[in-house]
Chain A
Amino acid sequence: MSSSAAPSDASPPAGEPPGPNHLRRFLTIWIVASVIATPLVAIFLGPILPPGKASDVAAGQVTDFTVTLSLATPVLLLVVLYLIYAIVAFRQPSGAALEGPALRGHAGLQTFWIITSVVLILTLATYATFRLEQGYGAGSGSGPNPLTKPSGPRLPVQVIAQEWAFTYRYPTYGGVETTHLELPVNTEVELHVTSLDVIHSFWAYQLGVKADANPNQDNIAFVKPTKIETFEVHCAELCGIWHGAMFDHGHVVSGPAFARWIAEQQRFFAPVTKQLPKYSRTYLPEPLRRGE
């Protein structure tokens, strides 16, 4: 299968000036673009990134998004600018049948690429792990035994998911179960997410919390809301036909307002609370039967 390529048309005939130094050109373009774009991304795009700063974990995620996006920007620019450069500079002239140089590799470049990508990846992975544990799970559901827990008093709130609504139980307030979530501002909250039937997922967007609700599992997430505002609650795991309708709005309110609210809830739901099962980390209703 070997054939020797005809060398006649490929390189410029002797005596003509050599072609432009593509490497220097492209590297210049890329470095300049990266130096301009990366700070712009970090400074201007970063602060407005989701999910906002309404809680400590959400603010942490904004930082993580910003850092990751800033590290990704030069990589994105490298490939996109290279594509554009190649399309412009390395064309086959119309009607010609020229060939490029028969280059099959470059040990130095390959080594450099491998080392750089390993360094970049290890940096990202270390950063992500550090931020995950420093942030006590960074708002994600960390299972029944989280690795790191915030110190100090925490308000336990149980999120009970079922087809197709979330209810919220406050064990330190007599185990009252409410239909809306209200949280006091600047208080560390320990969310216990569980399900009564199928897999759901509790996603409080502005709070930066997402924890799956599995039957017979207690999924713990930590969050400390820092702003008084309304947040969206969505179910983020397909749980049946009304999954799309399984959303709600929760509120972060001041301490006194929360105390008033929870007292009102306890009073209002008192007859119901008497009939509820005792507070427990998981509840095991009857096994599912199809068709009922």
Chain B
Amino acid sequence: MGLQIPAVPAGVEIPPEPPDVGARALAVGARLLAGGTTFFFLSFLFAYFYLRSIDADHAWRPKHVNPSTGLGIAFIVCLVISIVLAVLAGRGMKARRAGWVRFAAGAVVFGLATVAIQCIEYTTQNFGPTNGAYASVFCAWTAFFLLATLGAMYWLETQVATEFRASRSPSEHGDIRDPDRLIAPGLDAAVFYWGYLGAIGVITYVVLYVI
């Protein structure tokens, strides 16, 4: 084919970027992602109140449809612990206290615990997604919250893993000059997002289990 695509000139050099550019991007990106996540879960919040208000065919919530209170409490407790640990990790990292990474690892563990608890709930609860509108909203909302939690845990884990590796063997310059300096803003962004998602989780719990 005779089409000439501009090729990269040989030997061109792109200077490695100072890490504060990426740091700003991470901070803004985390907040934007939080905004998008809010609107995603807003759909389920709207569905809950709308369907509850119309109670079509009296099928909003048949009498037997009740999620387990115990597992619900376990869920919210693990969630709150995870958020608290994440915030402590963030603060500890800013204050340059060694050992913040243990708080972060703990946050990941408790976050994964909420996922496990919800999965146990699914297998033991006495209703399924077909049992009316409340059950539909419950199963869908919690399922997608699980997936979001897994994503947030992945994000936190990458910061923990990077810190573990970097403390043993510092990173060399690549596209980014001194990339280990991105761990701090990376953790900051991940903690922000997880804290925000956790707040959504608290609302989830209140709406679905409490009221």
**Residues on A close to B: CB < 8 A?**
216, 284
Contact = CB atoms under 8 A, between A and B. Distances in A.
Interface residues of B, number: 2
B7 interface: no
Contacts of B13: none
Interface string B47-75: 00000000011000000000000000000
Contacts of A216: 56-57
Q: Dominant SS at the A interface?
A: loop
Contacts, number: 3
3 contacts: A216-B56, A216-B57, A284-B57
Nearest to B56: A216
Interface string B15-59: 000000000000000000000000000000000000000001100
A31 B56 CA distance: 57
Contacts of B57: 216, 284
A242 B57 CA distance: 28
Interface in B103-129: none
A284 B56 CA distance: 10
B168 to A, nearest CB: 48
Contacts of B56: 216
A50 to B, nearest CB: 35
Contacts of A284: 57
B36 to A, nearest CB: 29
Nearest to A216: B56
B48 to A, nearest CB: 19
- In the A-B complex, the 3 residue pairs with the smallest Cβ-Cβ separation, listed nearest first, are A216-B56, A284-B57, A216-B57
Interface string B173-186: 00000000000000
